[in-house]
Structure 1
Amino acid sequence: MKTLKKMAFVATLAISITLSGVVVAAEKIVVGGKNFTEQQLLTSMTAQYLRAQGYEVDTRAGMGSAVLRSAQENGQVDVYWEYTGTGLIVYNDVKEKLGRQEGYEKVRELDMKKGLVWLTPSDANNTYALAMQAEEAKTLGIETLSDLASAINSGKELVLASNAEWYAREDGFRPFAKAYGFKLPRDQIKRMDSGLTYTALKEGEVDLALVFATDGRIPAFDFVLLKDDQNFFPDYAITPVVRQEILDQNPELDDQLNKLSGLLDNEAMSRLNAQIDVEREDIEKVAHSFLEQNDLI
């Protein structure tokens, strides 16, 4: 009898907590992130936001892309922000050119079979881009990537800074150069860490740099992005990806993360990234301030 009364009390308590609107997480949620500024910011932002919603949260920040993806597939990471282009090309080996919505629907469909759910994509598209110093681009009359190809093919010697990953990957330098119809000698390509490409361009060590479109250093350093007029680069919409098991256990989680996703666009991400990389503000504080300004905490 005592056991039955105890069970009834627990059930009543659970119902009252649910009705009161308090989030009851089934278990600790592990938020992961990659090892560059934007991802560290998104990890912090997500963790702080979910804690404010009543979840118990652990973080796994600063991971390599492949390691992070593997950790999520293995159930060691529950949620992180991924890029649609990466999900399609790197993790699902999709080579066909797809538009923004088509790409999102395709990667969502493919990853659903693996127990991973792509929620609503943000308006932030952190695609690859090539940048030049604005003054040099204007002097040379280069506004588009086709203009760049014409300049190289006419004999203009331009040096490119690229990270090692993009130089080698399937949607990287070689297919890019082939699509735009130019060749760049190996001694005119300097491979380096992603963050150093911005410094190399700023200091005039190179003429071109591979950059990420939402990086705050682009406007801060007076760079100009060359227009991808042949639409070579796929869309890299920043999107929260969650394990289905975690969504089943936490039915409000998708709406909560979608609310956060809806606040992110290129302008917001560029501004936040600049606060960290240019103004040297603390990542945790930048994330907290953004959440506070948008009434999420």
Structure 2
Amino acid sequence: MLKRIVKITAQVALGAALILPGVAQAKDLVVGGKNFTEQLLLASMTHQLLEAKGFPNSVTDGMGTTVLRTAMENGQVDLYWEYTGTSLVTFNKVTERLDAEATYQKVKELDAAKGITWLAPSRANNTYALAVRATDDKGLTTLSDLAAAYGADKGLTMGVNAEFPRRPDGLPGLEKVYGFKTGRANITPMEGGLIYQALKDGKVDVGLVFATDGRITAFNFKVLEDDKGFFPNYAITPTVRTEVLEANPGLEEILNSLSAKLTDPVMQALNAQVDVDKKSIEDVAAAFLADQGLL
């Protein structure tokens, strides 16, 4: 049986992070993860790969974005997969629009000062997107079309997760760039994984999706074009506390070898195996590592 220790709640992890001082290397490395399928897969793949390469580790997943980052900064989490755009906008408050390479270089520089090292970015860009049903697209093709629909008060409902209405790289920034405003009645907040089913079933007109989610294709969704280029690049990248990286020779090479295998189609397929085919996180992760010759 796989060794996989999962903390029950993000609050427990954060509480421990605030109590325990950061150390260069615990007995086991602690791999972090957020609270959605892709992150659970990445955490499991990392756990299994590191175990196979002689790096004992435990997993603390199911955490919110800010909680996980705080846990890393406080030394309770040693490494996890982060998105370049999230660090750029949410953690470092950069408002300048940058291309993919410039985004990576900027967050690598800014987070280095906080004791966090960004390793090699993958080719998977899990950017935010808004989607509609292809069979009932409400006449929408672009985000400018969506803005015009809200401007005309067409009453479209948008399914979103808890973070999107508050994040600067989410709804507030989107409304500012595209010049529209949604009312409270237009927004239907829910757990992120439920948005896809709600959109598929017609319970919302527009849904927040992630570009690497396998349900986009499986559920026949149409992703609206970000014609003003609002959403930054969200390259999936391993991040490690710098002192942990320095204390563990070989860790960088192992994580970079996994990062090199990840692309948009790869992540879409892996996510679909869990969310559509209902396979287990651990089984999908193990099969991928074996198929890629990493184990």
- The normalised TM-score by structure 1 is 0.87
Bigger mean CA offset, 287-296 vs 163-172: 163-172
Change (3 A) 1:102 1:155: same
Distance 1:193 1:26 in 2: 33
Q: Which amino acid in the other structure matches residue 79 of structure 1?
A: L
Residue in 2 aligned with 1:238? 236
- Report Cα offsets for 1:68-96 as digits up to 9, x if no partner: 11121122111100011111122112222
Bigger mean CA offset, 186-195 vs 255-264: 186-195
SS at match of 2:228: coil
Does 2:69 align with 1:69?
yes
Residue in 1 aligned with 2:21? none
Change (3 A) 1:71 1:159: same
Residue in 1 aligned with 2:190? 192
Change (3 A) 1:152 1:67: closer
Post-superposition offset of 1:97: 1.4
Post-superposition offset of 1:154: 4.1
Asked if the contact 1:123–1:262 (Cα under 8 Å) also holds between the matched residues in 2, the reply is yes
* Structure 1, gaps ≥5 residues long: 1-24
SS at match of 1:30: strand
SS at match of 1:136: coil
Distance 2:133 2:264 in 1: 20
Residue in 2 aligned with 1:253? 251
Q: Which amino acid in the other structure matches residue 81 of structure 2?
A: W
Superposition map of 1:1-297 within 5 A: 27-137=27-137, 140-297=138-295
- Report Cα offsets for 1:169-222 as digits up to 9, x if no partner: 222212212211223332122122212211211110111011111111111111
Distance 2:187 2:139 in 1: 21
Distance 1:164 1:48 in 2: 30
- The normalised TM-score by structure 2 is 0.88
Distance 1:26 1:93 in 2: 31
Asked if the contact 1:26–1:249 (Cα under 8 Å) also holds between the matched residues in 2, the reply is no
SS at match of 2:135: helix
Asked if the contact 1:26–1:250 (Cα under 8 Å) also holds between the matched residues in 2, the reply is no
Q: Which has the larger radius of gyration?
A: 1
Asked if the contact 2:131–2:224 (Cα under 8 Å) also holds between the matched residues in 1, the reply is yes
Aligned CA-pair RMSD: 1.6
Post-superposition offset of 1:155: 4.8
Bigger mean CA offset, 64-73 vs 259-268: 64-73
Runs of 4+ with deviation above 6 angstroms: none
SS at match of 1:236: coil
Distance 2:100 2:220 in 1: 28
Q: Which amino acid in the other structure matches residue 124 of structure 2?
A: A
Asked if the contact 2:90–2:169 (Cα under 8 Å) also holds between the matched residues in 1, the reply is no
Residue in 2 aligned with 1:16? none
Post-superposition offset of 1:283: 0.4
Bigger mean CA offset, 64-73 vs 78-87: 64-73
Asked if the contact 1:166–1:172 (Cα under 8 Å) also holds between the matched residues in 2, the reply is yes
SS at match of 1:164: coil
Q: Which amino acid in the other structure matches residue 235 of structure 1?
A: N
Distance 2:129 2:27 in 1: 40
Bigger mean CA offset, 232-241 vs 242-251: 242-251
Residue in 2 aligned with 1:4? none
